[in-house]
Amino acid sequence: MNEFDTDTDTDTGMIPAPPAAEAPVAEETAAPASTPRPRVRWAGIVWGIVLAAVAATGMVLTGSPDRLDDLVAIVPRLSATTVVAGILMTLGALALISGLVGLLRRAQRTR
């Protein structure tokens, strides 16, 4: 949230290339001659897909009023084993996605 309302985001944030007025400043501070172009944000893409998938699953599960009976029927079937298994699988999925994002970033950097 604070990333979004801290400072002027609307002017410079929209322009990928440095504005002409700021170019001399960059030279003065011994910055590299050409600032790299913004990269594709793979983490945002992957996590966006995952969260959108979770949201879509939730939409399907709560799709119609009679879905409540299905949801209610799930709960009595839960046991300690299934819950622990679910938690482990969730953690595994988180690790998998994080690792995937890391690999994508790595590939991007070495390219």
Partner 1 sequence: MTTPHLDPPRPATAPEEPAPTAARGANAGDRFFSWTAGLGLVRGDGWIGGVAAGIAARLRIDPLIVRGILVVVGLFGFPVVFLYALAWAVLPDLDGRMPLQDALRRHFEPAQVGILGLMLVGLIPLGPGLVLVGGIPQGMLTPGLGGWSALSALLVGAGLVIAAVLLFIILRAARHSARPADPGVPRTQRTASAADEAPDVSAAATGSGPAAAADAQGTDAAGFAASAPAFSAEFSPGLSPEDAPRDARVLPQSPSEPSETHTLPRSLSEAGTAESKRPHPTEDDAYAAWREQHAAWKVQDDAWRRQQQDADRAVREQARRERQERAAAFAAEAAERRRLRRVTKPRTPLSAVAVVIGVALIAGTATALWQRDVLAPARGLFVAALVFGLSMVAAGALRRRSGFLAFATVATLLAAGTAATVPVVQTLHLGTYWLAVGDSSQPPTSASDPFVQQWGDLTITALDDGVDGTVYVKKGSGSTQIMPGPLDASVRMDIDIITRDAAVDSVDLDGRGAYGYSRLDDVDGVATSRLADGRTRFTAAVGPADARTHHRIVIEQDSGFISVMRPASASSTGGSR
Under the criterion CB under 8 A, does residue 18 sit at the interface with partner 1? yes
Cβ atoms of 101 and 42 within 8 Å: the answer is: yes
In the bound state with partner 1, the residue whose beta carbon lies nearer, of 79 and 110, is 79
Under the criterion CB under 8 A, does residue 27 sit at the interface with partner 1? no
Figure out which of the listed residues 48, 92, 99, 102 binds partner 1, where binding follows CB under 8 A: 48
Q: Interface mask (CB under 8 A) for partner 1, residues 60-99, using x and -?
A: -xxxxx-xx--xx--xx-xxx-xxx--x------------
Residue with tokens 């007025």: 21
Q: At what angle do helices 67-77 and 42-61 cross, to 10 degrees?
A: 100
Alpha helical stretches, state H, 38-79:
42-61, 67-77
d(Cα 20, Cα 25) in Å, to the nearest integer? Answer: 10
Under the criterion CB under 8 A, does residue 1 sit at the interface with partner 1? yes
**Nearest to 105, CA basis, from 45, 35, 41, 47:** 41
Which residues here bind partner 1, judged by CB under 8 A?
Answer: 1, 3-4, 7, 9-10, 12-18, 22, 25-26, 29, 31, 35-56, 58-59, 61-65, 67-68, 71-72, 75-76, 78-80, 82-84, 87
